[in-house]
Structures are given as C-alpha cells and as structure tokens.
Structure 1
Amino acid sequence: MKKLNLLFIFILLMFAVSCGSDPDTNTEVVTENVLKTGKVAGRVMSQNGSKPIGGASVFTFDDKYKIYHTNSDADGNFILEAPEGNHTIYIQTGNGSNFRTEAAATIKNNETVNLELTQTKLTQVAKIAYVKGSYDKIENIIQNLGYTATEITNADLANINTLAEYDILFLNCGSRKYSQFSSVYPLIETNLAIFVANGGSVYASDWDVSYLVGGDDNTNNCSLPGGFIPDTKLCSKNIGSAGQVAGTVNNAALVSALGFNSLNIDYDLGAWQKIISYDPAYWEVLVKDATTNDALMLRTNQFTSTNVPTTPIGNAPNLLYTTVCVTLPNNIQITISVPQIVVPYLVALGATVGPCSGASGSGYIYYTTFHNHATGNIGNAAVILQYVILNL
C-alpha cells in the first residue's frame, strides 16, 4: 500500500509539471493593430482647367473623424496619406466657404490612387459681384479661371438687399465716381459694414481704398470723412509715382501657393495709392516693397462694428456647411468648411466652430495698391490676384 501511495504522488507531480507554465519555453502570441494606409494624389485646377491652384487644402477623415491633411504645391499637385477604405476627399481654398470640391476615393494599403482632373477642379460656391472700374478689370481674371461674376453698380451697393445676394465683392480701381453718387455714399458705406461683419468679403484696388476709409474718387489725406474702416486702422494717399517696384511676398502660405517670393510690379500710371500707415494688429502684410518695406498688399478678417444687424449674406451659408478651426500635429491650425453633420464629432475632438483667427463672423478685406490695368496685366501681379480671387 505504501508503494502504491508513493507511485500515486509521483504521477500527480509529473502531471503538474507537464500542465504548468514554463516562462522559458512558453510563447505568448501578440497581435499588433497596425494602421493600414495608402495615398491619394491629384492636381488641383481652376474650374475651366486652365490654371493649377497652389495652396489648396486637401483633406479627409477616418471613421473616428481624425483629419488627414495636406496642401497642393505651386503647380497644384498633392499627395495625401490616409487610412485605407472609402473616403471623401475635400479640396478647398481660403476657408472653404467660397471655392471647394469633393471627390470619392477608395484608398488601398500601400497603394496610390490618382484622382482624375475632372475630380479636382475647384467649383465656385460663392456668388461674386464686381463694380466696373476705369483702370482695372478683375472680372477678366475671374472669367479666365472659368468662374462667373455679376456686374453691379454703386446704386446696387446702396441697396443692402441687392448687396446681400453676394458672397464676394470686387471693387475695381476707378469705380467709386464720388461726384455722381455722393448723396448715397453714407448708405453704401453702412451697407459695406453690414456685408463684411456678416461674412461677406471685399477686394478693393488702388483708388478704391476710398470705399474703405473715405474720400472722394481716391484718398489724398488721412482721416477723411466717410468709409467704414476706422481711420486709425489705415491711411493711404494717392502720391505713389509710376515705375517698377521690386516686391517681396511676405506670407509663407502665399509663397508656397505662388512658387515665388519676389516679383516686379509695374506701376504704369501716375498717382497710385501709397500706404502711409496701418495697424499691424489689424492688417496682415502680404506683399511689401523690397527696398522701403512699405506695404503694397494688405488683408484682414478683423472687422467688427457695433449695432450692425444680423443679415444673411450670399449663397455659401445656405449649403449646409460650417466653418471650423482644426488643430493639426505640431499645433498647426487650419480653417476649413465641413458638412454640418460632422461638426459635433470634430468639436468632440477639439475643433472649434468659426475661423482660427480674426473676428467671429467677419469676412475678409483685401486691399492692393496695384491692380491689373485695363490694357494689360502689370507684371506677374495677375498671379497674386488669382490667389486673391480664390482665397476670399
């Protein structure tokens, strides 16, 4: 009996050893969840395919609304890395509210999908208006890109219902004609304030700075009566002389979009506007004189005004898109427009509603001391004006 008990104990010990874990010999299998990604490539073009568009935002989201983003280069080319699967690729300029398009793409692991040019042409969402000038034809540049603009008059500017039909307004140099419309200019300036404060964007060239700060057909002094921008923000006088000016592009994003950082601007008329002073906290200098550092091109979205009524502006707000600010890696912030349905998900990930900078609700104001002359473009400034059109 004693021998049988010892045998039984021995068998139990052997069984325990064979069923136990041995850290030296047991192998634990670990499955890593590796994100599978591919790439989508293409070339951003204007609506008629005539002009590659640099500086456009190209982005998509994964199924948890994490953003994947890149920009097109000066030749319009882009390569976007994103998770595999079916995605909507968003292509936009500016904050995306005026020019954008979308393309469907099936991204495959370690492969590159090439979008066709028909998928990457920027579509005009905005309604654009212009006032005819004497020395300037920005409408020609708009049309050469394949977009449409409607001519309106100073009488139309005096009617807020007419002005509010548009998202973007171009004021060509020489359009003010103060002596003919002096009685309605206080109303025009009030309407321009309403327009910009509610998200409309304005471009004014050369003498038409008088719409912004006051004066007659042009501004010949500081702090003139009229205008809708405070006199402390900007002073421009028509004392600039004719001749070539070497300009420097002063904005990194604009340099990337254009592919150059310097240009010669041909001021081919007498009495050009010269910026005397500006508030650097209010205006961003996009182009400056390389020799004197004088500002030649300004931009702001800082406009605010008290007692301005809330007024629906243009076509863009009716398309169920919302402007949001998204933070990318390295704390880079971008302003984009996205379908309203995805906004709560982006906000949950840290995005904020509205632009990343500027006054809430404000549209952009661009002002250039140069323009495209009615008899021909001045140097390669037309390329910069193409950028202005697409980024208002």
Structure 2
Amino acid sequence: MKKSYLFIVMLLFAFLVSCTGEETFTQPETSVAALQTGKLSGKVMSQNGNKPIGGASVFTFDDQYKIYYTTSDASGNFILDAPVGNQTIYIQTGNGSNFRTEVTATVKNNETVNLDASQTKLTQVAKIAYVKGSYDKIEDIIQTLGYTATEITNADLANMNTLAQYDIVFLNCGSRKYSQYASLYPLIETNLGIFVANGGSIYASDWDVSYLVGGNDNTNNCSLAGGFIPDTKLCSKNTGSSGMVPGTINSPALATALGFNTLNIDYDLGAWQKIINYDPAYWEVLVKETSSNDALMLRTNHFTSTNVPNTPIGNAPTSQFVTMCVTLPSNVQITITVPQAAVPFLVALGATVGPCSGASNSGYIYYTTFHNHATGNIGNAGSILQYVILNL
C-alpha cells in the first residue's frame, strides 16, 4: 500500500510541474525527412526572355524558416540546394522590392529538378518613370529587357503626389532644363530627397548630377546652390574630355553578375561630369578609372535625410512584402524581400527589418558619369546599365 501511495504522489508531482511550465524541455529532434534535400536548377532571364540576369538572389525556406540561398552566375544559371517537398522559390534582384518572381516546385531527395525558363523570368513589380533627356535614352534599355517605364516631366517631379506614384525614377542626361524650370528646382530637389528617404530609388547620368548636388543644366563647380545631397558628400565638375576611358569594376558583386571586371567606356561627348571628391561612407564606388582610380559610377551606401515627412512611395502602401536583412549560415548578410507572414519567424531567428546597409526606409541613388544613350557606342557599359535598372 505504501508503495502504491508513493507512486501516486510522484505522478501527481510530475503532473503539477509540467502544468506550471517550470520544467525545461528540449526542442523535438528534427526528423530525418526534414534533413533531406535536393537541387533546383534554372536560368534567370529578363521579362521578355532576351537577357540572362546575373547576380540574382535565388532562395527558399524550410519549415523552420532556415534559408537556402544562392545567386545566378553571369549567364543567369543557378543551382539551389533546397529541402524536399513542395517549395516556393523566390528570385529577386536588388533588395527584391522592385523586381521579383515566385516559383513553386517539388524538390526530390538527392535529385535535380530543372525549372522551365518560362518560370524563371524576372517580373517587374516596380512602377518606373523616366524624364526624357537630350543625350540619353535609358527607356530604350528598359524596353530591350521587356520592362515598361512612364515618361514624366520636370513639372511632375515638382508635384509630390505625382512623383510618389513611382518606385524608380530615371533622370536622363540633359533632362534638366534650368532656364525653363528654374523656379521649380528648389521644390523638385526637396521632393527627390523625400522620395529617396521614403524608399524610392533614382538613377542619374552625367549632367543630371545637378539634380543631386545643385547647379544649372550641369554642375561646373563644387558647393553650388541647390540639390539634396550635402555638398560635403559629393563634388562633380563638367571638365571631362571625350575619348575612350579604361575602367575597372570595383564591386565584386557587380563583377560576378556581369562576368567581367574591366571595360573601355566611350565618352563620346566632351564636358562630361568628373567626380572630384566623394564621401566613401556615403557612396560605394562601383566602377573606377583604371589608371587614376577616379570614380566613374557611384551608389549611395548610407543615404539619410532629416526632417523628411513620411510619404508612401510607389507600391509600398499595397505591398504584402517586407524588405529584411538576413544572415546566411556563412555569416554573410543579404537583403531580400519576403512575404509579411514570414517576418516574425525570420525576426525570431535574428533577421532585422530593413536593408543590411543604409537607412531602414531609404531607397538608393545610382550615378554614372558615362552615358546610357542606346544609339551611342556604350559597349560593355550597356550590361552595367542593365544591372542598374534591375538593382535599383
């Protein structure tokens, strides 16, 4: 009888402890099936299927939101290790907010499943606008990839309600008609600062650096009036002379995506903007002149702006996706965009909301001293400009 009584007391004690939650328990062991993986192969292409896309992020998650990640090579090819079962594969460029595609596939243990090319075309999510220039036609390059852009004017840049409809704005060299729109430029520059601070992205070429730092149709000196980039962050002067300039790709990610790291850039017009100095904490040099190391192409690394109103930009108000910084098992950080439902799970694993570099809500600015006109001899620079389009 005593033994039976003691046994009942022990059972009651165990029951009470488990109910109070004071006992520590271990995570259930992962099943063998969850550890099984297969491979997915494919080729990332532009929307019209004409251009392979290098440097695209390709990833998926397992049931515990562990990420499986790779990138496409310069020919657009990729092979992704993935957990077995029905998976959603995400294909993105840039931070994933402007160009992305989702593919559903069944991964088989120790097998390679080839994705059809029709599944891996990169879809345009962004609303894109451009301002017509006198020298450049980035809209033609956008079209050759199968994407669309809407023409807007300087008057539209001065209207925040109009500007805020777009995610990306391209400023073609020669679009800044200062004598015609002089009274609008203070407002235009303020609006562009608001646009980027709230997640919009800008690409400006050559003379259109004046939108960024001030000046008239171009910028002929440092610290001119106007612009929304502080004068301490960038100085550019229109002192370049025509001719072929040997360039070096300074960004490993860009070089990998393109498949080359040197090129000759044809500056076929004189008086192009030479970058005199820049703040390396503010800008990342993507392309430089080989002999002098002068910067030829910049991208904002840490864009910030103070006292800027919170303004919804482009697709942001209706998007069900969130941009996040995720750390890979190799401790490399990547910026990707994921469905909202995945956010709390990724945060629990250490991910953070917002990009891995720069202000959490800001977009990017790309600036090239060289042209993008489709009729000119842009050579390998054309691949660089396609990369810019897809990574804004």
Taking structure 1 as the reference length, what is the TM-score of the superposition? Answer: 0.91
Of 300-309 and 270-279, deviating more is 300-309
Question: 1: distance between equivalents of 2:331 and 2:315?
Answer: 32
Question: 2: distance between equivalents of 1:152 and 1:373?
Answer: 18
What's 1:270 paired with? 270
Q: Does 1:137 align with 2:137?
A: yes
Give matches, 1:177-192, under 5 Å: 177-192=177-192
What's 1:379 paired with? 379
Offset from partner CA, 1:66-92 (integer Å, 9 cap, x none): 000000000000000011111000000
Of 103-112 and 302-311, deviating more is 302-311
For residue 301 of structure 1, report the CA deviation from its aligned partner: 4.2
For residue 32 of structure 1, report the CA deviation from its aligned partner: 8.8
Distance 1:52 1:196, change over 3 A: same
Give matches, 1:233-382, under 5 Å: 233-373=233-373, 375-382=375-382
Question: 2: distance between equivalents of 1:308 and 1:213?
Answer: 18
Q: SS of the residue aligned with 2:226?
A: coil
What's 1:197 paired with? 197
For residue 317 of structure 1, report the CA deviation from its aligned partner: 4.4
What's 1:12 paired with? none
Q: Is the 8 A contact 2:141 2:374 kept in 1?
A: no
Question: 2: distance between equivalents of 1:378 and 1:86?
Answer: 44
Distance 1:149 1:335, change over 3 A: same
Question: 2: distance between equivalents of 1:345 and 1:324?
Answer: 12
Q: SS of the residue aligned with 2:330?
A: helix
Give the residue type in structure 1 aligned to 2:32. N
Give matches, 1:98-117, under 5 Å: 98-117=98-117
Give the residue type in structure 2 aligned to 1:150. T
Give the residue type in structure 1 aligned to 2:142. I
What's 2:166 paired with? 166
What's 2:96 paired with? 96
Question: 1: distance between equivalents of 2:79 and 2:374?
Answer: 38
Of 144-153 and 295-304, deviating more is 295-304
What's 1:33 paired with? 32
Q: Is the 8 A contact 1:135 1:374 kept in 2?
A: no
Distance 1:324 1:32, change over 3 A: closer
Q: Is the 8 A contact 1:299 1:366 kept in 2?
A: yes
Q: Is the 8 A contact 1:301 1:359 kept in 2?
A: no
For residue 362 of structure 1, report the CA deviation from its aligned partner: 1.0
Q: Is the 8 A contact 2:281 2:301 kept in 1?
A: no
Q: SS of the residue aligned with 2:265?
A: strand
Question: 1: distance between equivalents of 2:277 and 2:151?
Answer: 32
For residue 373 of structure 1, report the CA deviation from its aligned partner: 2.7
Question: 2: distance between equivalents of 1:135 and 1:359?
Answer: 33
Give matches, 1:45-64, under 5 Å: 45-64=45-64
What's 1:124 paired with? 124
Offset from partner CA, 1:21-55 (integer Å, 9 cap, x none): xxxxxxxxxx9937211000000000000000000
Say what the alpha-carbon RMSD is for the aligned residues.
1.2
Q: Is the 8 A contact 2:201 2:363 kept in 1?
A: yes
Give the residue type in structure 2 aligned to 1:55. G
Q: Is the 8 A contact 2:205 2:372 kept in 1?
A: no
Q: Is the 8 A contact 1:98 1:316 kept in 2?
A: no
In structure 1, the gaps of 5 or more residues are 1-30
Question: 2: distance between equivalents of 1:358 and 1:229?
Answer: 15
Question: 1: distance between equivalents of 2:207 and 2:32?
Answer: 62
What's 2:21 paired with? none
What's 1:17 paired with? none
Question: 2: distance between equivalents of 1:245 and 1:379?
Answer: 12
Taking structure 2 as the reference length, what is the TM-score of the superposition? Answer: 0.91
Give the residue type in structure 2 aligned to 1:149. A
Offset from partner CA, 1:290-320 (integer Å, 9 cap, x none): 0000000000142222211000000144220
What's 2:82 paired with? 82
For residue 330 of structure 1, report the CA deviation from its aligned partner: 2.1
Q: Give the structure with higher Rg (CA).
A: 1
Give the residue type in structure 2 aligned to 1:318. T
In structure 2, the gaps of 5 or more residues are 1-29
Q: Is the 8 A contact 2:304 2:358 kept in 1?
A: no
Question: 2: distance between equivalents of 1:94 and 1:233?
Answer: 23
Question: 2: distance between equivalents of 1:379 and 1:245?
Answer: 12
Q: Is the 8 A contact 1:99 1:125 kept in 2?
A: yes
Question: 1: distance between equivalents of 2:349 and 2:310?
Answer: 30
Offset from partner CA, 1:139-174 (integer Å, 9 cap, x none): 000000000000000000000000000000000000
For residue 377 of structure 1, report the CA deviation from its aligned partner: 3.9
What's 1:154 paired with? 154
Q: Percent identity?
A: 82
Distance 1:54 1:317, change over 3 A: farther
What's 1:5 paired with? none
Q: Is the 8 A contact 1:142 1:389 kept in 2?
A: yes
Q: Is the 8 A contact 2:172 2:208 kept in 1?
A: yes
Question: 1: distance between equivalents of 2:315 and 2:119?
Answer: 22
